[in-house]
Chain A
């Protein structure tokens, strides 16, 4: 069966520090991968998506970047965190149009 792993679950980082969040998928090949951010009391904001290795599309210009070094690995990064980067980050995958499977999320607090 397919599973998605996202870590860490929680993270507290100082302003100006780097960030690396990792997401991996098991049990499927060539998935579409997504990073979303959810601010407190807000909906889901699509940050990046990838339909293949090395193919990254950015939806919102910001302080973050994404990479897909392997077929089932998706990484969200920042060189210098801002206070506004705080939020709940969700990774998701799909192989067709019939719905996503989400990871359990990372709560990022920038202090």
Chain B
């Protein structure tokens, strides 16, 4: 069965600092991996996704993520965080014939001025 672990429930960074949100997955084959962002009281928006090819994927809002098969990880990064990045971030894994990804519990990002 597929699963996702986001080990950090909360992350606090200062505005302008770099960011890395961790995501570890369990999947028997090559996974499809996703990062979503949820602003308070809103739905989830897809930031980026990985299916194959280049293991470093670029997304919207200046985010990127790197797929590391050896570590079963798909960490999300941003070189300089803006106050508007404060939100909940969800990692998800899917694949094969399943249309239903498995979501992590989410990481809440707090940005200090």
A positions within 8 Å CB-CB of B: 6, 32, 34, 42-44, 46, 49, 51, 88, 90, 92, 94, 96-105, 107
Contacts and interface: CB of A to CB of B under 8 A. Distances in A.
A99 B51 CA distance: 11
Contacts of A32: 99
Contacts, number: 53
B49 A99 contact: yes
Contact of B103 (A43, A51, A107): A43
Contacts of A43: 90, 103-106
B44 A102 contact: yes
Nearest to A32: B99
Interface residues of B, number: 24
Q: Which 3 pairs across A and B sit closest by C-beta, in order of nearness?
A: A102-B43, A43-B105, A102-B44
Given A92-B43, A102-B45, A104-B42, 14 more contacts: A6-B43, A34-B100, A44-B44, A44-B90, A49-B100, A90-B43, A92-B44, A94-B99, A98-B51, A99-B46, A100-B44, A102-B44, A103-B43, A105-B43
Contacts of A107: 41
**Majority secondary structure of chain A interface residues (helix, strand, loop or mixed):** strand
Nearest to A6: B43
Nearest to A31: B99
